[in-house]
Structure 1
Amino acid sequence: MNVGTELLQSQQKVSSVLRTFARGPALSLGSQAIGLAQLALLLWRVGANEATDAYFYLFNMGMLPIQIVVVGMMYPLLLNEEKITRTAMKRVRWLTPLLCCSLILAGAAWLYASGRSGFALLPIAIGSFLNAGLQARVWFRAVTAEAEGNPRWISGVALPANGLAMMTLLLPIADATTAVVLMLIGLVLGNGTLLVVMSRLRVGDEVLRRAPRSKSGKSTAPYWFLGKAGIGYIGLVVLQSLAVLLPPSAVTLLNLAVKVVGSASATLVNSVMPILVHQNINSPSAGRRFLRVLVAGLTVISAFGIVGVALFLPDLTVPAICLGLWSLSSAAAGAAQRMSFRFLKPSASRVTIIAVPVVVAFALWSVHMPAFQLVVLLCAYAGVDAATSTLLLISLKDKLMATVLGSVLIGLAVIWVSTLA
C-alpha cells in the first residue's frame, strides 16, 4: 500500500513538473507566433517604409530601460546572493517607466533630425510614448515573478498586446502611418489590460514583500549588473542607429531579424530557464544539461534552414547563415547569463563589459567602408551574443560550450570581414 502511494505521488510530481515545463514554452510560443504574425501582416499590408522604421526604432528605444534596469540589474540581484532591497525594487518600479518615456522622446527627436517621417512621426511617437510606460510596469511584475521560478507571466508578457495589435492590422487601412498608429493603440490597450489583471492578482508582490529592507554595508553588485546591462543594450542601440544610415526599410528588416531571433530565444530559453535556475536552486547542472540540448537542437534546425534558403533563395544564403549563428548565440547567451546571475559573483560581469564596446567599435569602423550593408549589422548583433556567451561559459568553467560558441564567434568574424572586402 505504501509502495503504491509513493508511486502515485511520484507520478503526480513528475506530471506536475511536466505541466510546469509545458505552460511556459506554450505561452511563449503562442506569444511569439502572434508577434511574428503581427509583423508579417504589417509588412504585407503597408510594406517596409519610414513609418514602420519609426515604429520599430521607437519601440526598441522604449524597451531599452526595461532591458537595462529591470532585466539587466533587478533580475540578477533577485537571483544573486547579494539581494536587492525592497526600497530599491520600489525605485525601479517607478523609475523605469519614466526612463522609457524619456527615451521615446529622445528617439523621436533623432528620427526628426535625420529627416525621417516628418510630421507623420508625431502620432507614432505619442503611441510609442504611452505604450512604453505601460510596458515597463508589466515587465516589472513579470520579471519579479520569473525570479521565484514562475515563467508563465514572462512567457506570455506580450501576448495580449500582440494579439490586439494584430487585430487592428486586419482593418482595411492602406495608409502606412494610420496602420502603425492603430497597431500602437492595440499595444497600449493590451498592455493596459494585462497590467490591471497582474495588479489584481498581485503578481510579483510576494517577492517584493520578501525582499530585505536593508543591507549591512555597501554592495557593488548593482553597479556591476547595471554597468554590464547598460553597456550591452546601449551598444545595441548604437548598432540599430547605424541602420538609420542605410537605405529606407533597413531598420525594419533589421528589426524583423531581431524579432525572429528573439522569438526563438524567448520560446526556448526564457520559458524554461526560470524553472531550472531560480532563487532556490543551488546547482547549475540542470542549466548546463539544458544548454547542451539547446545548442544541439538549434544547430540542426539552423543547418536545415540554411540549406533550404541556399536551394530556393541563393542570394540570401549569407544572411541566413548569419541568422542561424545569431539564433545559436542568442539562446546560449540567455542561458549562460541566467546561470552566471545565480552562480557567479557580480564582478564576473566585467568579462562581458569589454566585449560589447569592441564589437560596436568595429561596426562604427565598418560604416566608413564602401561595402557596408545590412549583413555587417547582422554579424555585429550576433557577435555581441557570441562573445558574451563565450566569456560567461569560460567563467562558468564549461569548456565544451565555450569552445562551441567561440567557434561561432570566429565564423561571424570571417563573414563580417569577407563582406567588407
Structure 2
Amino acid sequence: MLSCGALLALLEAPQADRLSAMLIAQIVGMVATISFILCRDRGLLTRVFAEPQTSRPAQTRVDWYLAQSIIGYGSLLVLQTTSVALAPAALSVLGLIGRFVSGLNMVVTNAVIPRLVHSGTTSDRPALTLVKWTAFSMLGTGLLLALFGAWTGTQLAVQAAVVCAWFACAITNSTFKRLAVRSIEPRAAAIVSILNLATATVVGVLFGTGLLSLEILILAYVAMDLLPAIALGFLLRRWILAIAIAVPSTAVVLFASVALQIS
C-alpha cells in the first residue's frame, strides 16, 4: 500500500525518484509490520532465539536462517536499485517478468511445498517429483516460447520464456531450501548468503562501471535462485537434478534475453 501510494504521489517525478520512493516505502512498511508483530507478542524474539530443546540439526538456533533472509533481501534490494540504469522500456519488461515469477513461486512455496515437506514427512520423493515435473515442463515450454518469440518477433512470448525458465530455478531453490532445513546443518545457509552477496556485488560493480544491461540484470535475478539451488543440490546429494535444471535454464534465459534486445 505504501509503495503504491508513493508511486501515485510521484507520477510526474523522474523515474529514479519514483523507484527510490517505492523502495523506501517497502522498507518502512516492512519495519512497521515487524514492529506491530513484536508489540503484539512481546515474547516472540525470546522464543525465537531461545536454545532448542532437542539436538536435531534442523531445530538448532535460527541465526543462520535469519542472516540468510537479511542478506538475501538486501541483495535483491541492490538489484532493484541498480535497475534504474536501464531504459524505461527495459525496466518495465524486468518488472513484469519479476512480478509473474514472484507470484508463481509464492503460491508454490507457501501452499504446495509445506504440504510435501514438514515435520511429519520422512521422504523427499514427493517434493523432488514436484520439482522434476514442474521445472522440466516449464523449461520445455520456455524453450518453445523463446524460439517462437525470436522467430516471429513477439516480445510477449520471449518474456514468457524468461518467466518459465526463472520459475524453474525458483521452485528448485525453494524446494531445496525446505529440504535443507530438515537434512543439513543450519550453517549451510551461509553458502546461500555468500552466493547472493557475490551476485549483488557483481551487479553493483557493473552498475558503477556503466556496463549493466537488461540481459545481465535478468541473469543476476535468475542467479539469485539458480546458484543457491546448485549449491544445495550438491549438499543434498541431488546435484544431477540441480545441474539438469541449471544448464537448460541458463540457456533459455540467455537466448530469451538476447531476443528481448533484438525485438
Q: Tell me if 1:298 matches 2:123.
A: no
- Distance in structure 2 (CA, Å) of the matches to 1:367 and 1:52: 17
Q: Tell me if 1:310 matches 2:150.
A: yes
Contact 1:228 1:350 in 2 (8 A): yes
Instruction: Sort the Cα spacing of 1:318 and 1:236 in 2 relative to 1 into closer, same or farther, 3 A.
Output: same
Question: Which of 1 and 2 has greater Rg?
Answer: 1
Alignment of 1:7-406 (within 5 A): 50=13, 103-104=27-28, 129=29, 133=32, 214-215=50-51, 221-248=61-88, 251-313=91-153, 321-368=161-208, 372-406=212-246
Aligned residues: 243
CA shift for structure 1 position 313 = 2.7
Letter in 2 for 1:390: I
Which structure is higher in RCO with an 8 Å CA cutoff and minimum separation 6? 2
Letter in 1 for 2:202: F
Contact 1:309 1:317 in 2 (8 A): yes
Instruction: Sort the Cα spacing of 1:338 and 1:216 in 2 relative to 1 into closer, same or farther, 3 A.
Output: closer
- Distance in structure 2 (CA, Å) of the matches to 1:263 and 1:270: 11
- Distance in structure 2 (CA, Å) of the matches to 1:213 and 1:230: 16
Contact 1:376 1:416 in 2 (8 A): no
- Distance in structure 1 (CA, Å) of the matches to 2:64 and 2:218: 27
Instruction: Give 5+ residue unaligned stretches, structure 2.
Output: 5-10, 54-58
1:21-52 deviation per Cα after TM superposition (whole angstroms, max 9, x unaligned): xxxxxxxxxxxxxxxxxx9xxxxxxxx97588
CA shift for structure 1 position 325 = 2.4
CA shift for structure 1 position 393 = 1.4
Please provide the CA RMSD for this pair.
4.2
CA shift for structure 1 position 416 = 11
1:189-209 deviation per Cα after TM superposition (whole angstroms, max 9, x unaligned): xxxxxxxxxx9xxxxx9xx8x
Instruction: Sort the Cα spacing of 1:345 and 1:246 in 2 relative to 1 into closer, same or farther, 3 A.
Output: same
Letter in 1 for 2:198: V
- Distance in structure 1 (CA, Å) of the matches to 2:179 and 2:72: 18
Contact 1:322 1:382 in 2 (8 A): no
CA shift for structure 1 position 250 = 5.3
**Percentage of pairs with the same residue:** 18
Letter in 2 for 1:262: S
CA shift for structure 1 position 382 = 0.6
CA shift for structure 1 position 374 = 2.1
Alignment-derived partner of residue 184 in structure 1: none
Instruction: Sort the Cα spacing of 1:340 and 1:60 in 2 relative to 1 into closer, same or farther, 3 A.
Output: farther
1:391-413 deviation per Cα after TM superposition (whole angstroms, max 9, x unaligned): 11111111331212332575489
CA shift for structure 1 position 292 = 1.1
Instruction: Sort the Cα spacing of 1:311 and 1:213 in 2 relative to 1 into closer, same or farther, 3 A.
Output: closer
1:340-382 deviation per Cα after TM superposition (whole angstroms, max 9, x unaligned): 1233221121221221122222212322555532222111101
Letter in 2 for 1:288: L
Structure-1-length-normalised TM-score: 0.48
- Distance in structure 2 (CA, Å) of the matches to 1:346 and 1:280: 19
Alignment-derived partner of residue 74 in structure 1: none
CA shift for structure 1 position 244 = 2.0
- Distance in structure 1 (CA, Å) of the matches to 2:197 and 2:226: 14
Aligned to 2:237, what secondary structure does the other structure show?
Answer: coil
Instruction: Sort the Cα spacing of 1:371 and 1:314 in 2 relative to 1 into closer, same or farther, 3 A.
Output: farther
